[in-house]
Amino acid sequence: MVRIVDNDSDYDESSSLPMSQQEEWSDVVPIPQDDGKNPVCPISYTDEYREMTDYFRAVMAAGEVSQRAFELSGRVIDANAAHYTAWVYRKKLILDLGLDISEELSWVSEISGRHIKNYQLWHHRGALLALLLDPKSLEHESQDQRVQNPAIRNELQFVGEVIDNDSKNFHAWSHRQLVVRSYGIWDQEMAYVETQINQDVRNNSAWNQRYFVLTANQSADEFVLSEEVADREIGYAVEKIKLAPNNESPWSYVIGLLARHAPAMLYERLLPKINELAADKDYAIAVTSTPFYWSALVDIYEEQAKALSVDERGGVEAFAEEACDSLAEKYDPIRAKYWEYRKQALRTAN
């Protein structure tokens, strides 16, 4: 049964009845879902859900702005969090009724445990935060001051708890990026990222967040990677590679960072570091046994060849081809065809 409770009144027995028998809804003519004349695959809804959405459909059709419509939207959402239209109408009701945004955020927090990977829930939460705290109102505050703002602090705490429960929750990380970007709180985020990587060096989402923070969400054309920062990031990635050489995350991070923002540093700065690691007796076997080391060599030598004239690049291309052979034959045979393709591409590049 659907229970609609007015916030200003105590619960009574009538609220446990079907909506068609509740006095509160006697003035509403429900609108059934129209699946067409001969639906190919009609969805088998429960009677309770069907009735609830029929009444909600009528409320929306009438453009009703009321507390009961707002409460009904919550029931529909909690029954089916993917009901995008219910979220949209709920936001409209919040604005039209002038409801407390903080209370709505609390409600979203309450139901999030049941719908933690629902796109609409996170989108709604982001919209609420923007309504609660206009980023322009913080333009003259320092990052330290912004982080101490109750709304921002609460939001970071909420999303942090979600990440603690599921460190690779894509929605939570995306929402965290929204908060950081909207309110310009870049400085403190790097410390958070390092904590997450220290807890799990294989957490690709945390490595992705590191790149997001480092570049401050700038495009490749806007972001300038200084030699100082490049050396720091190379050193950081190499130290994490030492912890788990067969972990793809730091390899992908440092190769991607340099390839996009400072290609020459791949062979000028990164190559000596990983070759040094590969020659170190404490790490040599583990490092040279992982496909990520050989894959890195292919990417680095390929980039170096581009910087040389056609007559000069032969030796470098040979190194890259040898790495492709090692991958195809020994370290990554499941993708042998791909490495054969990469080898051919090296030979045909101008």
Report how far residue 302's alpha carbon sits from residue 324's, in angstroms, rounded to the nearest whole number: 11
Report how far residue 81's alpha carbon sits from residue 115's, in angstroms, rounded to the nearest whole number: 7
Length of the chain: 350
| Rounded (10°) angle between helices 291-306 and 336-348 | 10
The answer to whether residues 229 and 214 touch, using CB atoms and an 8 Å cutoff, is yes
Report how far residue 66's alpha carbon sits from residue 28's, in angstroms, rounded to the nearest whole number: 13
Backbone torsions φ then ψ of 191, nearest 5 degrees: -65, -40
Can you say whether the dihedral through the CA atoms of 266, 271, 227, 229 is positive or negative?
positive
DSSP secondary-structure letter at 269? I
DSSP secondary-structure letter at 80? -
Positions annotated as catalytic residues are 117
Report how far residue 320's alpha carbon sits from residue 4's, in angstroms, rounded to the nearest whole number: 67
Instruction: Calculate ∠ Cα 84-88-94, nearest 5°.
Output: 140
The answer to whether residues 75 and 29 touch, using CB atoms and an 8 Å cutoff, is no
Backbone torsions φ then ψ of 6, nearest 5 degrees: -75, 135
Nearest to 270 by CA among 232, 244, 308: 232
The answer to whether residues 158 and 110 touch, using CB atoms and an 8 Å cutoff, is no
